[in-house]
Chain A
Amino acid sequence: MHVDPFTDRNVSEQSAYYYVDMGEYPQTGWGKFKQVVKRSLKGELFVGLWVVMREMIKFDIHTVQYPKEKLPIGPRYRAVHKLLRLWESGFERCIGCGLCEKICISDCIRMDTRIDEESRKEVTEYSINLGRCIFCGYCAEVCPELAIVHGDRYENASEQRAHFVIKDDMLTPLDFLTAGQQKEYPGFGAITPHEDERVTKTPLAY
């Protein structure tokens, strides 16, 4: 919808706001009586009755029966985080660079890394303190590997906040991955569509 007329709060010809024509308020008893008769006999009451009756007959119900039906959420919705795996190997995408930990403005991400036997960096622990997380999405945006993303899980009732955000809960389970169930996240921090065509080679010679 065109919103410009609504942003102008000054009542004028151009804006969408206008004064309701209230008319003169009757001062005398006779004037009040005439107003009541006019309002009663003009049929305004019956217009109201007709409107609600029409809605009842049309039966255009807008209720969403929530646990059974759910409204779709937007692709950029930022719900509880997920850690994704690589499609081919099933390895964790997270390389333990620590950027998310660093950029997190409420300081709620904590990760432990170590160098494993093959001299690769391994993430041993990864947790998000949901009591402090403000769901700003910076971690997903900064992640170079598209490893930490926001999921679509917004039903967060639980006995413990920690039930959502220790590493095992966020990480895609392996059987889930092999079943092809891991979803790429189209939202915050994800690569834009047709990114391959737009990427150019890094110029090495300056």
Chain B
Amino acid sequence: MDLAFIIETVVKIVVILLVFSALAGFGTYFERKILAFMQRRLGPMHVGPYGLLQVAADGIKLFTKEDIIPQNVVKPIFKLAPVITAATAFMAAAAIPFWPEFTVLGYTVHPIVSDINVGILYVMAVMAIGLYGPLLGGMASANKFSLISAARSAAVFISYEVITGLALLAPLMMVGSLSLIDINNYQSAGITHWIAWSQPVAFILFWIAAFAETGRTPFHLVANDHEIIDGFGTEYSGMRWGLFFIGEYANMFFISFVMALIFLGGYGDGSIAGALQLLLKVAFFFFFFLWTRAAWPDVRPDQLMWLCWKVLMPIAVLNVIVTGVVILIQTQGGM
């Protein structure tokens, strides 16, 4: 392992970390603005032009706030939980290509930290570890609402994770690789080759599961303000709470990237136009997260589990079977 590779990797990691931490901050700004516009409000307007510096103000507030650790909490776990959420969210980004490879001064840059051959499996697995943030934080908080939230997060997790896996299986069977770059290249011929057209059911299912994965509004029951205060975040303050927040928003961006890469053609043929299209797709998915929050009500935990286990999972299994049969017929016919 030569020095150039190590330096390059470290630089990539730092860039991703900085860019997505900042984006997570601006994500909150976009969320507040878009929600406000949809509700005929203006949103943040006072800090900076059009409230743009609200992000900085929030950051200063979070960093300088007193870090309260309540009396009866399990201290080491309570302190660790937010770190798990934020860290796993960013770790998942290691296998996501954010931009097609490009050449700077004769040096080819691969804007992916590590193109491992089990890329999407790694991404989903690490994102799943992020569950331990809410789970441990909620259980260690010595607060009944946090405990309910922890129980809910575990229950929701085992429900949606099945859908995520089964929904992904069908496209992966078509592509024959788990690397997100391979999946992207499979669709590089243009918009007609997007997997969303050949696997619409998997696309919708994965999209639905992504809402549960990130805990966004139709499935926001892990931290539902009107039922259980802030759920696992109730006892947290200052930057520890901020880490939960950054993790949540970074997760939204990363899952948007994953959806765009797997189902909507990613960056296409790797040109600048394709890369910009990728960003547009990601922006659309992120916007949709906010859009649904303005429009849709939350479901109950039992409704979500009912939906996942009794409706979506059979559909996902059927989808996998049908895909398998079709692939079998095609390969047999080709022989």
Contacts from A to B (Cβ < 8 Å): 29, 32-33, 36, 45, 48-49, 51-53, 55-56, 59-63, 65
Contact = CB atoms under 8 A, between A and B. Distances in A.
Contact of B37 (A33, A36, A45, A59): A59
6 contacts: A29-B310, A49-B292, A49-B296, A56-B38, A62-B40, A63-B45
B38 A52 contact: yes
A53 B37 CA distance: 9
A56 B34 contact: yes
Q: By DSSP majority rule, is chain B's interface helix, strand, loop, or mixed?
A: helix
B327 interface: no
Q: Size band of the B side of the interface?
A: 10 to 19
B45 A48 contact: no
B310 A33 contact: yes
A63 B42 contact: yes
A172 B36 CA distance: 43
A71 to B, nearest CB: 15
Given A33-B310, A33-B311, A36-B307, A48 B38 contact: no
A65 B310 contact: no
B294 interface: yes
Nearest to B307: A36
A63 B295 CA distance: 20
B291 interface: yes
Interface in B67-122: none
Contact of B295 (A52, A59, A60): A52
Given A45-B295, A49-B295, A53-B291, 8 more contacts: A33-B310, A45-B296, A52-B291, A52-B295, A55-B39, A61-B42, A62-B41, A63-B42
Q: By DSSP majority rule, is chain A's interface helix, strand, loop, or mixed?
A: helix
Given A45-B296, A48-B296, A65-B45, A53 B310 contact: no
A61 B41 contact: yes
Contacts of B306: 32
Interface string B286-329: 00000110111000000000110011000000000000000000
A111 to B, nearest CB: 43
Interface in B7-56: 34, 36-42, 45
Contacts of A32: 306
Contacts of B34: 56
Contacts of B36: 63
B168 to A, nearest CB: 22
Contacts of B307: 36
A60 B311 CA distance: 40
B37 A56 contact: yes
A51 B34 CA distance: 14
Closest 7 CB pairs of A and B: A48-B295, A52-B38, A63-B42, A52-B294, A56-B37, A52-B295, A62-B40
A36 B39 CA distance: 27
Residue in B41, B45, B295, B307 whose Cβ sees the most chain A Cβ within 10 Å: B295
Contacts of A36: 307, 311
